[in-house]
Structure 1
Amino acid sequence: MRTTKLGGLEVPSIGLGCMGMSTAYGTKDDPESTRAIHRALDLGVTLLDTADVYGNGHGERLIGEALKDRRRDAIIATKVGNLGRAAKPRTVDGSPEHITAGCDASLERLGVETIDLYYLHRVDPDVPIEDSVGAMSRLVEAGKVRHIGLSEAGSDTLRRAAKVHPIAALQSEWSLWSRDVESAIVDTCRELGIGFVAYAPLGRGFLTGTIPDVDTLIPEDRRRDHPRFDPDNIAQNLPLIDALRSVAERHGATPAQVAIAWVLSRGEDVATIPGAKKVKWVEENANAADLELTDSDFADLGQAFAPGAAAGTRYPEKQMAKLGI
């Protein structure tokens, strides 16, 4: 597995997004998720990404149990500050008090002494970013955190944050059908020496070509609330998969592998964390590291997936309001 530098932290270019093991997409299966984590480590997919809000702590406890005998094999990334959609009246909390207490709770659930990469999950518009990052920097000083990052932050926020403490990574959505960050944010990261961790490189599963309509998803699946999975929008988005399939056939690969390889091609400072909770998906995603796309591939994908090509926003309206602050 090739590697990527996130500030001073070296990580595999392909990590493992663990959100779906606890929430949002289908039902939980802890034994299978644990096998997926162990297989990921065996393949060099050692960056495990979770958050305290995933399953109300379930995600961190799951990883903690899975790593009881393999802590040295893993790079643990978790997040704080997102209270979840059901929280009222606030859905984000970037206060120093919340960050400090959240870190201690995450350490306990994970069963570790240090978190390798600790993100502010969403920027709190009511708390100066200097205060939030200041609290995170004190966690570094205390030895509880090695590196800090932000998620879905805007360019101005990144610049202000970097003046307080080095920011190792920005984690934001980036995929063939979510290219918002290309307008300015990626350039800001490179200007400041901040690595980029792309989440949802598979478009929440849509870019795998296995979701022909919303009825494919179980009633509890959160994607049913996402505009791009609205029946009308999903019908408009389906033709995008044809370009992925065409490129995949040229290489004897899968659409998912092409989608991941495209994200990795964006730069040596880019890592990605496709979500997977089954061994077979972990293996499929990891093999994307060996896929080299051609100029012809890039041209075909670029034509099909021009910025703004996808029908529907990537989150519901209220969640969109929390992005890019």
Structure 2
Amino acid sequence: MKKRKIGRINKEVSAIGMGCFAIGGPFYRSTGGVLAYGQVDDEESIKAIHKAIDMGVNVFDTADIYGVGRSEKVLGKALKDYRDDIVIATKFASRFEEGNPISLAGKGTSTEYIRRAIRDSFRRLQTDFIDIYQFHSSDYPIEESIKVRNTLDDLVQEGLIGSFGWSTDDVERAKFFAESNNCVAIQYALNLTHHNRLMIKFCEEENLSGLIRSPFASGTLTGKYGPDTKIQDDHMLSRLDFSDERRRKILSKLQDLKEILTEDGRSLIQGQLSWILAQSKTIIPIPGAKNVKQIKENAGTLELEPLKSDVVDKINELFQEFITEGVLKSSL
């Protein structure tokens, strides 16, 4: 079983967590675009969470906005008998009406708002403590974020949260938050087609954990989708054009990747998670899942041997022409 340590506090956790965006179900941007991977069944989501725990996963990442509160509610229900053994990482900063999927209303960053948001998260998660409370505004102005950081420091001192982080791909923002020793993690995007070498280097230097979002480029690198795939309107990938030349080339490379990975029995998903783990010991991928089958595949990576260095090099070479770096602009 692969283990990693949360930066600065050295708490041992599973090397792979579970992202809980998908279990929140559909909600919508103020402009109308759907934010979801289709419809979900709460009981199936709970079974998936319990299966993750059975397989050794003890890091669960969510946000108050996911499913306008639904993700936190489902996670809280599933974890109520396991709380002492679990690390909950949730996020804040989006204004919304709980349960109303079309209620996104900008950002909330005042001390008053943050304190109200954490009380609401406590209620939904059925807990009185958040292990890692993350600022969920990736491009918020650094000069204005001092008030946010100070509020989070106060919440640590009051025993309401154990630590905090920022969900951002921007190293300068990460540096600012990391000036507080209570900052232990940065959540950033990393996958075969998007790297962030500066963030990895910074997290290694500062002993910060990297909670890795978008490990499969929002699902586009799972191998499930292609130019002829019919995607329902309640799925956020429905807006992508998979016949786009760059996407077609990347999807064809996935077939070559399968050949490399299946040599030692890994699936395409497990190979990508193994590749991400190989980038740095500070990294903890948080792939999303909404059913037991997906959890089995994701968490099964914990039992596999690390990728050999020559295989990592082959994968890097395979996707070299498609790599973007730094702040993620799009999923693929």
Q: Distance in 1 between matches of 2:202 and 2:16?
A: 22
Q: Does 1:129 align with 2:145?
A: yes
Q: Does 1:46 align with 2:58?
A: yes
2:111 to 96, 99, 103: 96
Q: Distance in 2 between matches of 1:55 and 1:172?
A: 21
Consecutive aligned runs of 4 or more in structure 1 exceeding 6 Å deviation: 84-88
1:113 to 128, 134, 142: 128
Q: Distance in 1 between matches of 2:323 and 2:177?
A: 32
2:227 alignment partner in structure 1: 213
Q: Deviations over 1:20-51 (max 9, x none)?
A: 11131011111110000001011111111110
Following superposition, the deviation at residue 87 of structure 1 comes to: 6.4
* Residues 142 and 225 of structure 1: CA distance in aligned 2, closer, same or farther (over 3 Å): farther
2:314 to 295, 300, 303: 300
Give the aligned residue type for 2:160. K
Following superposition, the deviation at residue 297 of structure 1 comes to: 1.3
Q: Distance in 2 between matches of 1:127 and 1:219?
A: 39
Q: Distance in 2 between matches of 1:159 and 1:143?
A: 24
Q: Does 1:18 align with 2:31?
A: no
- Residue pairs, 1:1-325, within 5 angstroms: 1-7=1-7, 8=9, 9-23=11-25, 24-83=36-95, 91-123=106-138, 124-125=140-141, 128-179=144-195, 181-182=196-197, 184-213=198-227, 215-226=229-240, 229-232=241-244, 233-289=246-302, 290-306=304-320, 308-309=322-323, 315=329
1:322 alignment partner in structure 2: none
2:28 alignment partner in structure 1: none
Following superposition, the deviation at residue 211 of structure 1 comes to: 1.2
TM-score (norm 1): 0.88
Give the aligned residue type for 1:155. V
* Residues 251 and 199 of structure 1: CA distance in aligned 2, closer, same or farther (over 3 Å): same
Q: Distance in 2 between matches of 1:214 and 1:52?
A: 35
Q: Distance in 1 between matches of 2:230 and 2:264?
A: 27
Following superposition, the deviation at residue 236 of structure 1 comes to: 3.0
Q: Distance in 2 between matches of 1:246 and 1:209?
A: 13
TM-score (norm 2): 0.86
CA RMSD in angstroms comes to 2.4
Give the aligned residue type for 1:109. R
Give the aligned residue type for 2:14. P
Q: Distance in 2 between matches of 1:172 and 1:265?
A: 16
Following superposition, the deviation at residue 127 of structure 1 comes to: 6.3
Q: Distance in 2 between matches of 1:314 and 1:194?
A: 20
Give the aligned residue type for 1:194. L
Unaligned runs of 5+ in 1: 320-325
What percent of counterpart residues are identical?
Answer: 28
Q: Distance in 2 between matches of 1:236 and 1:41?
A: 37
* Residues 188 and 82 of structure 1: CA distance in aligned 2, closer, same or farther (over 3 Å): farther
Following superposition, the deviation at residue 225 of structure 1 comes to: 3.2
Following superposition, the deviation at residue 307 of structure 1 comes to: 6.3
Following superposition, the deviation at residue 135 of structure 1 comes to: 0.7
Task: Tell me if the contact between 1:20 and 1:277 (Cα under 8 Å) persists in the aligned partners.
Answer: yes
Task: Tell me if the contact between 2:203 and 2:282 (Cα under 8 Å) persists in the aligned partners.
Answer: no
